[in-house]
A and B are shown apart, each in its own frame.
Chain A
Amino acid sequence: GQNIDQPTEMTATEGAIVQINCTYQTSGFNGLFWYQQHAGEAPTFLSYNVLDGLEEKGRFSSFLSRSKGYSYLLLKELQMKDSASYLCAVLDSNYQLIWGAGTKLIIKP
Chain B
Amino acid sequence: DAMVIQNPRYQVTQFGKPVTLSCSQTLNHNVMYWYQQKSSQAPKLLFHYYDKDFNNEADTPDNFQSRRPNTSFCFLDIRSPGLGDAAMYLCATSRQEQETQYFGPGTRLLVL
A residues at B contact (CB < 8 Å): 4, 30-31, 33, 40-45, 48, 87, 91, 95-97, 99-102, 104
Contacts and interface: CB of A to CB of B under 8 A. Distances in A.
B42 A40 contact: no
Contacts, number: 40
B98 A30 contact: yes
Nearest to A35: B103
A48 B100 contact: yes
B98 A99 contact: no
B85 interface: no
B43 to A, nearest CB: 5
A97 B102 contact: no
Interface residues of B, number: 17
A102 B42 CA distance: 7
Contact of A42 (B41, B45, B98, B105): B105
A95 B98 contact: yes
Interface in B54-107: 88, 90, 97-98, 100-106
A99 B100 contact: no
A44 B105 CA distance: 9
Given A101-B40, A101-B42, A43 B97 contact: no
Contacts of A48: 100
B104 A42 contact: yes
Residue among B43, B45, B106, B108 with max Cβ neighbours from chain A (10 Å): B43
A42 B106 contact: yes
A100 B88 CA distance: 17
7 contacts: A40-B108, A42-B88, A43-B103, A45-B100, A48-B100, A87-B43, A100-B42
Contacts of A95: 97-98
A95 B96 CA distance: 9
A100 B41 CA distance: 8
A42 B42 contact: no
Residue among B40, B42, B103, B105 with max Cβ neighbours from chain A (10 Å): B42
Residue among A33, A42, A44 with max Cβ neighbours from chain B (10 Å): A42
